[in-house]
Chain A
Amino acid sequence: MLKKMLGTAAVLTLMASPVAADIKIGFVTTLTTPVAVIGKDMRDAVELAMEHIGGKMAGEDVEIVYADDEFNSQKGKQATERLVLRDDVDIVAGYIWSNVLLASAPVVLNANKILISANAGPSPLAGAQCNANFFNIAWQNDQTPMALGELLNQQGVKSLYLVAPNYAAGQNMVAGVERTFKGEVVGKDMTVWPSQRDWSAELSKVKAAKPDGVFTFYPGPAGPAFIKQYQQAGLEGQVPLYSVYTLDSISLPLFQKAGMETVLGTKMTQFWAPDLDNAANKKFVADFRKKYGRYPSFYAAQSYDAIMFIKSGVEAVSGDIGNIDGMRAALKKADFDSIRGDFTFGNNHFPIQNFYERTVVKDADGNWTTAVGRAVLKDHQDPYASQCKM
């Protein structure tokens, strides 16, 4: 009898012990391969965010565990599995590439942990495969090109040629433009990704089709290569180039070093620009430039926001990271100072936000960056929200 009482007391004491003080956030990005420049930008932004919050959320110490997807969906899935099963992280965030996210999401969501995408916004996760534990604090892939399609209409472009890589995000970009563009699509080339880096055949077809404008999407180092070939084919100045996610703070310094003035004045659309006027963004951009000596890209901005977003959820549950339901309810409110200003979530946990016209310009110090213009789409929700049953 005494033994049983002692045993029960011991068990009850153990159960009442405080939860481990660490908050572990797993961050999946690309740290090797040529596109590691993007991962480096995201990592730098996360480190800056950690500095700004003093390494703590709701008084608890925060640990970021970085994992490398090696720009490959299978490796990304394995990296996610290691984070969830071996490192036992509390929240998983990151993901540049849509294909990596689509492969890895089930690993996190089946373990009933919260997953936050800081870049990839593939349509399945916005529609039929939406999940209560999944949040995207960047955009849905179709939205930015939909804004671009609207911009094309406003610029009076009547015929369009599309060149994009043939993978999930490339298909979303092209689909997004075709949704809103009212003119005629005179040609479409989906190129083999990521191995095809010589677009001579496609650019010859563009020249033959003589469109009013060309739309392109080539993230990472492929962007400068494409634009260089665009210029060499004699299309610069002949046919205006419109892009999404191709010219950003990572590629613009490379263009500036190579003296490729072609890109100055080209237009794109996005939910954010380094000169977007709100307090959180001003602080982020200024501190990023001071610490790293360059402008942050949108990848960096989204990663910074991801940490601040997680912080808002953790603080709402006073650090009790096991309270998934409480965190989820808090996160749904999007109650934090985002670098894009205030926004709300749709039913599918994707942001409803503005999309702005952006132009490539030289700033006051002579650095090439982008300047924000007017809002092309206001409080825009992605077109897949109605397919989500939440």
Chain B
Amino acid sequence: MDYVLLTEQFLNGFQLGIILFLMAAGLTLVFGIMDLVNLAHGSMFMIGAFVGGTIAVLTGSFIVGVVLMIPAMLVIGMVVEMTTLRTLYPRDHLDHVLATFGLILFFNEATRIIWGPEGLLVPLPAFLDGTVALGAITYPVYRIVIIVIGLAVALGLYLLVSHTRIGMLIRAGASNRTMAGALGVNIPLLFSIVFGIGAVLAGLAGLIITPITQAQIGMGEDVLILAFVVIVIGGIGSIRGAFIASIVTGVIDTMGRSFLDVFLLLFLPENAAESAGPALSSMLIYVLMAAILFFRPQGLFPPKGAGG
């Protein structure tokens, strides 16, 4: 067993999990607290990448791009929420799906009009672009930076949710929205802030993955699907559930891609094993989601008193 490869693949999976966590955290908050099925979350991922990427290219500094993207996405998120989503809250989930799907089309086309169809290549500063030696492994510096950023955000969210007043309101809203409203919490403002936080997290995920995969139109859609799977597995409304589920999902997906074709070669012809490997590994995640829905439909770590 090649331990260097195994450790590297675990790190790769962990890093994928971090990106998923940034997406899923915002999504679970929006779905859990506001009961809004937000398909346009993937568009926030894309907009963060393009807006932050453009700032990075214009100022010549990727870090400035990240820093300035945060208030930009907060404003964009709150504006979107106040103008288009406010009227949707009392309506059926299907109406949410239709309206936010329309938002996806709108944002995709707007991005194409502003930035053209080619996408955006965002360069990294030289000190982030190399590799670093961790024991026997040489691993890209930037992927480690992503892991560190993700863990910092996770810690920040934990502190926000458990140790601040806003966090208390968010937890109350996730547990039982109606009671929280009846107790005098300013629900519309809370919703705007939560949506804004979600947009910032999604935009951050989009921007930090851009130096690796390059920004392109529709980039949020694949990640969004995985994010939905993650929040179902983790429990809707629970950030802790989102964190654990996203790491598990990332590691399963990556390990599957790395080792499943080797495993399949044991009893399938070469051609079949090579094409089936990556396809089956992406199925594994949905199989896990199906199993969770069957055995524990509220997810692994549902918020206490969920069902409000």
**Of B8, B123, B278, which contacts A204 at CB under 8 A?**
B8
Residue in contact with A232 in the complex, picked from B140, B216, B261, CB distance below 8 Å: B140
Q: A40: which B residues are within 8 A, CB to CB?
A: 117
The number of residues on chain A lying at the interface, defined by a beta carbon within 8 Å of a beta carbon of chain B, is 37
With contacts A200-B12, A201-B12, A205-B5 known, is A228 near B278, CB below 8 A? no
With an 8 A cutoff between CB atoms, is B129 at the interface?
A: yes
- Please classify the interface of chain B as helix (H, G, I), strand (E, B), loop, or mixed, using the class held by over half of its residues: helix
> B residues engaging A (CB < 8 A)?
2, 4-5, 8-9, 12-13, 15-16, 112, 117-119, 121-123, 129-131, 138, 140, 142-143, 209, 211-214, 216-219, 222, 254, 257-258, 261, 274-275, 277-279, 282
Least Cβ distance of B12 to chain A in Å?
Answer: 4
Are A234's CB and B138's CB within 8 A?
yes
Q: How far is the CA of A36 from the CA of B12 in the complex (A)?
A: 31
Interface contact B117-A33, CB-CB below 8 Å: yes
Taking the closest CB of chain A, its distance from the CB of B182, in whole angstroms, is 45
- Nearest to B13 among chain A residues (CB) is A201
Query: Which of A232, A258, A259 is B212 in contact with, Cβ under 8 Å?
Result: A232
Chain B residues, Cβ within 8 Å of A13? none
Task: List 4 tightest A-B contacts by C-beta distance, closest first.
Answer: A234-B131, A36-B117, A200-B12, A34-B216
Q: Is the CB of B212 within 8 A of A229?
A: yes
Judge whether B117 and A234 touch: CB under 8 Å: no
For A228, what are the chain B residues with a Cβ–Cβ distance below 8 Å?
Answer: 211-212, 214
Given the known A-B contacts A198-B16, A208-B2, are A32 and B117 also in contact in the complex, defined by CB atoms under 8 Å?
A: yes
A204 near B12 with CB under 8 A, answer yes
- Beyond A34-B216, A208-B5, A232-B131, whether A166 also contacts B275 by CB under 8 A is yes
- On chain B, the residues within 8 Å of A205 by CB distance are 5, 258
Residues in B with CB closer than 8 Å to A254 are 118, 121
Which residues does chain A contribute within 8 Å of B216, judged by CB atoms?
Answer: 34, 221
User: Known: A201-B257, A233-B140. Is A34-B118 also a contact (CB below 8 A)?
Assistant: yes
B246 to chain A, nearest CB (A): 15
Residues of B close to A166: CB separation below 8 A: 274-275, 278-279
A201 and B9 within 8 A (CB): yes
Cβ A234 vs Cβ B130 within 8 A: yes
B278 in contact with A196 (CB, 8 Å): yes
Select which of B16, B121, B275, B282 is within 8 A of A258 by beta carbon: B121
B268 to chain A, nearest CB (A): 14
Cβ-defined partner of A257 (8 Å) among B121, B211, B219: B121
Q: Are B119 and A221 in contact (CB under 8 A)?
A: yes
Interface string of A13-42 (1 = CB under 8 A from B): 000000000000000000011101100100
A195 on the B face (CB < 8 A): yes
Knowing that A192-B282, A200-B16, A208-B2 are A-B contacts, what are 10 other residue pairs whose CB atoms are under 8 Å apart, sorted by A's residue number? A33-B217, A33-B218, A191-B278, A195-B222, A197-B214, A198-B209, A208-B5, A231-B129, A232-B143, A254-B118
How far does the alpha carbon of A200 sit from the alpha carbon of B131 in the complex, in Å? 13
CB neighbours (8 Å) of B16 from chain A are 198, 200
B121 touches A201 (CB 8 A): no
Contact B254 A200 (CB under 8 A): yes
In the complex, the answer to whether B217 meets A34 with C-beta atoms within 8 Å is yes
The residue in chain B whose Cβ has the minimal distance to the Cβ of A195 is: B222
Q: Which of B4, B212, B278 contacts A192 (CB 8 A)?
A: B278
Closest to A167 in B: B275
